[in-house]
Amino acid sequence: MNRSLRTGQERNGEHIIIDDFFRFPHTPHIKWLGPSEPRGDKLLSDEEAAEMLSFSLTVEEKVDGANVGFSVGSHGRLRAQNRGAWIEHDAGGQFKHLWQWARRYEYDLIERLGRNLILFGEWCYAQHSIHYRTLPDWFIGFDIYDQSTNQFYSVDRRNELLASLGIPVIKPMARGVFSEPRLEEFLEKPSSYDAEKLEGVYLRQDESDFLLRRAKLVRSDFTQTIGEHWSRKRIIPNQIFFIE
C-alpha cells in the first residue's frame, strides 16, 4: 500500500480496531454499455432499472477523480479517506495538495460535519482519463452521509450544506423521468468542466430529505480504457478556472 494511505483498521495488541471507518458504497450501473461483460461491477437487473426509471431522478455529471471523504474523528480533528484507507498528512502523488486545500475549510468542516456526517466528493487534482480545464476547485462535493441515520442526504439538503461551507457541488444536468435512450443522450454532451466529453452520469432518486437509491451510466469508450490505469503514468494536473 502507498505509504500516503493507511488502512481504516488499527491494531491494538491482538485486536483489530476499526475507527468507525465507512467506505463509500459501489454504485451499480443502470445499464452496461461496454463491449464485454462487466468485471466486478454491480449491474441493476432489468426489473430494478425499469422501477428506478419510473420515478423522477436527478441527473448529474460523473466526474473522473479520486473518491475522497472528510469526517471528524473521536479526537476532534479532521481526517480524510480514499476508498479503504485514511489519507496521511504527508501524502504524495495525487494527494500531495489535499491537506493544503483542506486547511482552508478545516474549522468550518469540523463544526458542520460534527461526529455524524461524512462529506464525499471527487478530488480532481490529477488527470485520470479525462483532462478538465475549468474546475471550480480541486474538490467537488457530491454526497453527505449521515452516520446517525445510515443514510445519504438528498440533493437539495446536500447542496444547502455545501453552499454554507463554500465548497463547490457537482453540477446538475436535469431532473425528471427519463427513458434509457434519453439517458444515453446525456453521454454525448460535453463536460461542464471544459473537457471534450464526460465520463458518464449519476442518477439519484431522493425521498424527502434523503437519497433513496442511485445508479450510474458510463460511456462505452470509458469502460474500455479502465485497464489503462492513469496511476502508471506521470501526474498531469487538471486546471482550475479562477473568476476575478
Could you list the pLDDT tens digit for every one of the 244 residues in the chain?
444 555 554 433 333 334 578 999 999 999 999 877 776 679 999 999 999 999 999 999 999 999 999 999 989 999 999 988 999 999 999 999 999 999 999 999 999 999 999 999 999 999 998 999 999 999 999 999 999 999 999 999 999 999 999 999 999 999 999 999 999 999 999 999 987 789 999 999 999 999 999 999 999 887 555 545 556 678 999 999 865 4
Asked if the structure places residue 38 within a domain, the reply is: yes
Instruction: Tell me the residue range of the domain where 119 lies.
Output: 26-232
Contact between 91 and 66 under an 8 Å Cβ cutoff? The reply is: no
What is the rounded CA–CA span in Å between residue 46 and residue 161? 35
Closest by alpha carbon to 152, among 137, 141, 136, 163? 141
All 3 cell numbers of residue 118?
461524512
Contact between 146 and 120 under an 8 Å Cβ cutoff? The reply is: no
Q: What angle do CA 150, 140, 71 make, to 5 degrees?
A: 40
pLDDT of residue 87: 96
Asked if the structure places residue 141 within a domain, the reply is: yes
Asked if the structure places residue 162 within a domain, the reply is: yes
Indicate the number of domains in the chain: 1
Asked if the structure places residue 209 within a domain, the reply is: yes
Residue with cell 470509458: 222
All 3 cell numbers of residue 144?
453527505
All 3 cell numbers of residue 235?
501526474
What is the rounded CA–CA span in Å between residue 94 and residue 127? 9
All 3 cell numbers of residue 81?
479517506
Asked if the structure places residue 7 within a domain, the reply is: no
Please enumerate in sequence order all residues whose Cβ is within 8 A of that of 237, keeping only pairs 6 or more positions apart, or say none: 125, 126, 127
Q: What is the pTM of this model?
A: 0.89
Asked if the structure places residue 155 within a domain, the reply is: yes
pLDDT of residue 20: 75
Asked if the structure places residue 111 within a domain, the reply is: yes
Please enumerate in sequence order all residues whose Cβ is within 8 A of that of 228, keeping only pairs 6 or more positions apart, or say none: 129
CATH of the domain at 174: 3.30.470.30
